[in-house]
Amino acid sequence: MEFKEWEPLYKEILSEFGYSEVKDRISAEFLADERGTDGLSPLRVLGKQEVEIIGPYNTASDKRLNIIAGSSLEQAVDKGVEPDLIVTDLDGDTKLQLEMNLKGVPIVMHAHGDNINLLNKWSSKFKGHVISTCQCKPPDESICNFGGFTDGDRAAFIADHFGAKKIILNGWDFENPYHEGKTKRKKLLWAKKLLTHLKTPVVNLS
């Protein structure tokens, strides 16, 4: 999704959650300057593939290219899933995300107004392949915005943007989130809504 298509949805999210576009922009500028993007080749391989988005309730699968949301990485690895790509705003087990990146797993690292402290602490430590993203208008070409809000639906937006044949959601429960809480539940309901805007067919295995 191009930013001009994403922007109306982004504005709705800002209004719904009371987020600051100014803080989003500051965080995006920081990540662009501090880490930037090493190239989009790990995303281009998603084209014409069946791409599996791995969530916290997944069952192990090695049949398809997979993308693991950062907060689900520990559960996925415990079940024997080897990540092809990790999408994260550096929550969850950040040390494990770093370990995977240093072993060669590409990371899509996301900037938003609430995680600038995490970016400051961790972003420069990721020496493997990194693609920087944000949810506001990208300040320059070293950071991207393909659409999406939470790590999981953002992974689906990335697969869609790069022409995936099909998107399979493995282990996602939008009604009963792994991390309980009113805000998390509200975010996942938004994620479910956002997935309806994708051009690629989406299948939920849950």
Which residues does the chain have with pLDDT short of 70? Answer: 60-62, 176-180
Query: What pLDDT sits at residue 110?
Result: 98
Query: What pLDDT sits at residue 173?
Result: 81
* Single-letter amino acid code for the residue at 106: P
The residue with tokens 């719904």 is: 16
Report the C-alpha gap between 107 and 187 in whole angstroms.
Answer: 22
Summarize pLDDT for 8-64 with one digit per residue, the tens. Answer: 999 999 999 999 999 999 999 999 999 999 999 999 999 999 999 998 877 766 678
Report the C-alpha gap between 52 and 166 in whole angstroms.
Answer: 8
SS (H, E, C) the chain: CCHHHHHHHHHHHHHHHCCCHHHHHHHHHHHHHHCCCCCCHHHHCCCCCEEEEECCCCCCCCCCEEEEEHHHHHHHHHCCCCCCEEEECCCCCHHHHHHHHHCCCCEEEEECCCCHHHHHHHHHHCCCCEEEEECCCCCCCCCECCCCCCHHHHHHHHHHHCCCCEEEEECCCCCCCCCCCHHHHHHHHHHHHHHCCCCCCEEECC
What is the model's pTM?
A: 0.96
Report the C-alpha gap between 18 and 46 in whole angstroms.
Answer: 33
Strand order in the sheet with 130-134: 130-134, 107-111, 85-88, 65-69, 50-54, 166-170, 202-204
Query: What pLDDT sits at residue 56?
Result: 81
